[in-house]
Amino acid sequence: MAKLTKRLPMLPAERALKVISGRWKAVILYHLFDGPRRLSVLKTLVPDIAQKVLIQQLREMEEHGLVCREIFAEIPSRVEYSATRLGLSLEPILLALCEWGQHHADELNEMDRLADCIIRPRQVEQPVPALRN
């Protein structure tokens, strides 16, 4: 991990931007916020991304602790990617960036050119009631 730390900027804001920069990282994370996904499913959910780029972005996010790659000992082998706690902590930040992007487009009268915001608040799971004897 020492090499990773040397490559990242020392300023916290610059470091954060470096970790989440990349055309597809926010979109990939969005799809991982709902739970683990296989590479083929992610490719289907993000059809405009080349598979090589998808793998590269996933590896970068794994290196920075945002994504976990789990290999299942099955035949054929199965690999799933999921957002780590650190990755999940980016959800409100990505939502805020999405909202700001909408505001920016509105201010410049470009809402008609804007795609729908794909980041949305997560549903809060209701606690399971305790069983009574």
pLDDT > 90: what percent of the chain?
Answer: 59
pLDDT in tens, 104-133: 999 999 988 887 766 444 444 444 445 544
Instruction: Let me know if residue 79 belongs to a domain.
Output: yes
Between CA 21 and CA 90 the distance in angstroms is: 12
Give the range of the structural domain holding residue 62, as residue numbers without chain letter: 19-113
Instruction: Let me know if residue 98 belongs to a domain.
Output: yes
Between CA 18 and CA 13 the distance in angstroms is: 9
Calculate mean pLDDT across residues 10-32: 92
- Number of separate domains in the chain: 1
Between CA 3 and CA 78 the distance in angstroms is: 29
Question: What is the rounded (10 degree) CA torsion for 116, 121, 122, 125?
Answer: -140
Of the candidates 59, 32, 60, the one whose C-alpha atom is nearest the C-alpha of residue 46 is 32
Residue of higher predicted confidence among 30 and 133: 30
Whether pTM exceeds 0.75 = yes
